[in-house]
Copies of this chain bind each other. A is one copy, B any other.
């Protein structure tokens, strides 16, 4: 079953009696075992039965920095090799309340930072699936689950989604509570989603918005509902701002060419696409994000790397050391800039529906030692604005994607824009069977 029904299609099939929830779950479970070669999961559920609720029969892959009380949660670290949390994370509780089942825990880099896991890209063995949400991206791409949870602090949802040819969605900062998600840098950490379509991402988001006061950065989005029976409506032909950013020279020619050809296709389909140069001040976003990351990761992991020098990686130690050098006033200034620039971006985007840009520098690099460069995602993560990775082509047997970025807290509008773009794009061919 390389291409199972997606989330919405599966729920419709359950409702109409065309597929039974139990059979779908069993098929996904079997697909996970059949693709053990991908090393997408750290652990699989031993027994899997439909839950009680509207999502009964839907299996979900849960990134292994997200707590599950009935499965180990290693956080991608040998320090937590045998760790079973006392309680489910907020988002897992929500999924279970909907009736969904956790099919398994998906491989994360160490604490969602750089040190990679063993997961292969389903499109080409020996290539990274991206990270840090490596296993979640691979599991959706390989047709094992219709939905997987990831997190993004720099580029850990959008980049692996692009590398694996699936839809990645990072909601606005604060939209999904992070209670029970191991922090990396709380001012940047987002919970995000991997699905096979924009419709599935929008449908999932509509059920996963919420609030938990224990996440003091939470700021729930206005609720919205998406009818299972109606098609998720795209926007009218959108106004897109093609933003190349200051790091454009790091993009590979084929990735740049895909952006230009996609822009041309959008124009032909009626969209208004115009170049937009961001205000020069926003070039500080990479430094700002780096300061926030290093300081907060240093606060999160300083004691841990000191206590477990043999069980923590050099990249994590380096990050802790980097953050320890930052003066508090520089950190406070970075927090201030983050908020100020978010407002600036809203102003810049006033005449547009979304930014059209790149999710990564190119296709998934060869080798598993690095999960690739997150730089193309960093500005949008730092600003906390919603972002979607859309599959848009292939190159040398690997997927290439686009990234759409919308105004802060207008996630539904961005998803409607992404749905419009999705209808125009030629979807990449499906992942080759093993």
Contact = CB atoms under 8 A, between A and B. Distances in A.
Given A327-B324, A328-B330, A336 B216 contact: no
A104 interface: no
A280 interface: no
Nearest to A296: B332
Count of chain copies: 2
A314 B339 CA distance: 31
Contacts of A269: none
Contacts of A326: 327-329
Contact of A328 (B216, B331, B336, B339): B331
Contacts of A327: 324-328
A22 B370 CA distance: 75
A132 interface: no
A122 to B, nearest CB: 38
A299 interface: yes
B216 A329 contact: no
A339 B213 CA distance: 12
A302 B403 CA distance: 39
Nearest to A331: B328
A295 B339 contact: no
Nearest to A185: B332
A323 B332 CA distance: 11
A108 interface: no
Interface string A297-329: 011001000000000000000000001111111
A299 B333 contact: yes
Interface in A213-268: 216
Contacts of A296: 332
A366 to B, nearest CB: 37
Contacts of A328: 295, 298-299, 323, 326-328, 330-331
A325 B327 CA distance: 7
A50 to B, nearest CB: 37
Contact of A339 (B216, B331, B333, B336): B216
A323 B329 contact: yes
Contact of A331 (B216, B302, B325, B331): B331
A421 to B, nearest CB: 30
A168 to B, nearest CB: 27
A222 to B, nearest CB: 13
Contacts of A333: 299
A339 B324 CA distance: 22
A216 B325 CA distance: 27
A302 B327 CA distance: 13
A407 to B, nearest CB: 14
A332 B331 contact: yes
B329 A302 contact: yes
Nearest to A334: B328
A392 to B, nearest CB: 35
A299 B332 contact: yes
A333 B327 CA distance: 13
A216 B331 CA distance: 17
A324 B325 CA distance: 13
A299 B336 contact: yes
A325 B329 CA distance: 9
A295 B331 CA distance: 10
A295 B332 contact: yes
- Residue in A216, A326, A328 whose Cβ sees the most chain B Cβ within 10 Å: A328
Interface string A388-431: 00000000000000000000000000000000000000000000
The 6 A-B pairs with the shortest beta carbon distances in the complex, nearest first, are A328-B331, A299-B332, A295-B328, A326-B328, A328-B328, A299-B329
Given A299-B333, A326-B328, 12 more contacts: A295-B328, A295-B329, A295-B332, A296-B332, A299-B329, A299-B332, A325-B327, A327-B327, A327-B328, A328-B328, A331-B331, A331-B332
14 contacts: A216-B339, A298-B332, A299-B329, A299-B333, A299-B336, A324-B329, A326-B327, A327-B327, A327-B328, A328-B328, A328-B330, A328-B331, A331-B331, A331-B332
